[in-house]
Amino acid sequence: ELIDDLKGSKTFLTPLVFIPIEEALLSKAKRVGLSGLTELQWEFITQCWRQNIDFWAPEKKPQIHALIFSVFWAISRWKHGKKSVRPVMKLAGFPENFIGGAYISKSDGTFDPHYEIPLAEDVIATEIDKQSAVAASKSAE
């Protein structure tokens, strides 16, 4: 929704991926790589770049879309897996109702989520359960 709110504004959207910095508070935190991104995160990144293309280079959209689809899609599919396919197709100019995705924009401007985003508490509880199971299996040995 934030990207849709910024549509038409004179900005260049740059999505970032978390990288721990040596001297920072989260220096020991796990680095997020492109292969670890969810489909929703891929979609967010590609929506930012699509907005950039639409605003800054509207006259070159057909050439950019063809280049993205032919080169980036093949590399992205090979290197980053299936999670990057739909977002790259969206970036290449395919209509949302053709490819679907994590969110499909409705005609009234609202979004229909296709899957739920887990709450932080649920993610933490799942991780604790996994660690407990690993510890229990090690102690059983």
Amino acid identity, residue 61?
K
104: confidence class by pLDDT, cuts 50, 70, 90 = very low
Question: Per residue in 113-140, pLDDT tens?
Answer: 554 555 556 666 777 788 888 888 877 7
What is the reported pTM? 0.43
Per the structure, the count of domains in the chain is 1
What distance, in Å, lies between the first and last C-alpha atoms of the chain? 50
How far is Cα 12 from Cα 63, in angstroms, rounded to an integer? 20
Domain that holds residue 121: 2-140
